[in-house]
């Protein structure tokens, strides 16, 4: 599923509301549509059917696959899905463009599973050596946030490198062919590259950033359906608890649904962190720091306040 970036336009803000009217006013929710990428926790939740168990037999779960976070956020904005996972950067760009999204819960960061890499024989030894070089990265993704922060920490301006904005699959092809000097990306694409090329790791997210990944919701859906949203979160907690002690099974499940070699999926599953928790003031502050960095560099059209997009569940 792909929703064009024009979906973030001001004119579609009203359209999103109209799309939701019938659904929000319906007597109960009969289906929850969840956007995902084929990575750790979503795959586990699907395999173990923990969300289906939490919702009960009267609510169906429809899983909608995306290749990256930005199109998933766009789908949330127009009401094509109800809930979904992304990294740290996509909701920032979405909020700046007026998307009807809410932060529902936080997940652990990509950490060791997201990095900037270069071929071992590239002659590039540090992030500072990327000056004047081309770096493949997904625009508006968590990998772009890593690249921006790493370049800044190395004393370079973002305008001193040449980012080449590519989706992960295209970035993999460009990296393999030597068409770019480096690549900023997440698992399992990172794990595939590590097992296939033994690249030099210039920076990992765990060394540069203190960020989270996020479970997001369409703003109108979570406001109108708090109990359903809470049940989905309960299902995710069950999946996370299972995954944390069944990493071999997680790797096999990821291999089965993606076709990615088991060696790479074992590497990715072994270093993943599993969990889902409430969004704290500290988490909001860290996300705000990222948003402020993007605005300072001219990557956002306006300043945003992350706290304004955080879902506050009603007290039970």
Per residue in 17-38, pLDDT (tens digit) is 334 433 443 447 899 999 998 8
Whether the predicted pLDDT of 183 surpasses 90: yes
How far is C-alpha 261 from the geometric centre of its chain's CA atoms? 22
Quote the strand ranges of the chain, DSSP E: 31-36, 60-65, 83-86, 101-107, 114-118, 134-137, 162-165, 182-186, 200-204, 213-218
Structural tokens at position 179: 């068409």
As a whole number of angstroms, the longest Cα–Cα distance in the chain is: 62
Rounded mean pLDDT of 174-190?
96
DSSP 5: G
What is the structure's pLDDT at 26?
41
Q: CA 90, CA 83: separation in Å to the nearest integer?
A: 14
What is the structure's pLDDT at 316?
66
How does the average pLDDT of the chain come out, rounded? 89
310: helix, strand or coil:
strand
What is the structure's pLDDT at 111?
87
Q: Is the dihedral of CA 210, 212, 218, 224 positive or negative?
A: negative
What is the structure's pLDDT at 3?
31
What is the structure's pLDDT at 21?
38
What is the structure's pLDDT at 17?
38
How far is C-alpha 246 from the geometric centre of its chain's CA atoms? 23
9 confidence band (pLDDT: 50, 70, 90): very low
For the entire predicted model, the pTM comes to 0.83
Q: Which residue has the tokens 């089965």?
A: 256
Q: CA 122, CA 267: separation in Å to the nearest integer?
A: 24
What is the structure's pLDDT at 43?
86
21-35, 107-121, 122-136, 217-231: least confident range: 21-35
Whether the predicted pLDDT of 170 surpasses 90: yes
Rounded mean pLDDT of 39-55?
90
Structural domains in the chain plus CATH codes: 5-109+211-309 (3.40.190.10), 111-208 (3.40.190.10)
The more confident residue out of 15 and 36 is: 36
67 confidence band (pLDDT: 50, 70, 90): confident
Structural tokens at position 39: 């990575």
């Amino acid at each position: 599923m792909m929703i064009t970036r024009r979906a973030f336009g001001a004119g579609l803000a009203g359209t999103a509301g109209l799309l939701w009217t019938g659904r929000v006013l319906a007597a109960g929710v009969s289906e929850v549509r969840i956007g995902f990428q084929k990575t750790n926790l979503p795959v586990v939740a699907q395999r173990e059917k923990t969300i289906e168990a939490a919702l009960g037999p009267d609510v169906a779960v429809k899983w909608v696959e995306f290749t990256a976070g930005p199109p998933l956020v766009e789908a949330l904005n127009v009401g094509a899905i109800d809930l979904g996972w992304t990294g740290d950067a996509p909701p920032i760009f979405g909020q700046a463009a007026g998307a009807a999204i809410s932060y529902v819960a936080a997940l652990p960061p990509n950490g060791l599973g997201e990095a900037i890499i270069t071929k071992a024989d590239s002659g590039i030894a540090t992030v500072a050596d990327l000056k004047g070089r081309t770096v493949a990265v997904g625009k508006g993704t968590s990998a772009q946030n890593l690249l921006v922060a790493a370049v800044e920490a190395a004393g370079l301006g973002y305008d001193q490198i040449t980012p080449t904005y590519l989706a992960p699959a295209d970035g993999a092809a460009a990296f393999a062919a030597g068409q770019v000097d480096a690549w900023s990306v997440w698992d399992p694409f990172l794990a595939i590259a590590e097992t296939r090329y033994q690249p030099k790791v210039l920076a990992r997210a765990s060394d540069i950033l203190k960020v989270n990944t996020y479970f997001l919701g369409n703003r109108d859906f979570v406001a109108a359906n708090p109990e359903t949203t809470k049940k989905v979160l309960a299902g995710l907690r069950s999946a996370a608890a299972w995954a944390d002690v069944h990493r071999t099974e997680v790797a096999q499940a990821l291999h089965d649904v993606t076709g990615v070699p088991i060696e790479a999926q074992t590497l990715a599953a072994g270093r993943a962190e599993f969990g889902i928790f409430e969004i704290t003031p500290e988490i909001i502050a860290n996300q705000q720091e990222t948003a402020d960095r993007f605005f300072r560099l001219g990557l956002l059209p306006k300043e945003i306040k992350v706290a304004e997009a955080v879902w506050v569940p009603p007290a039970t």
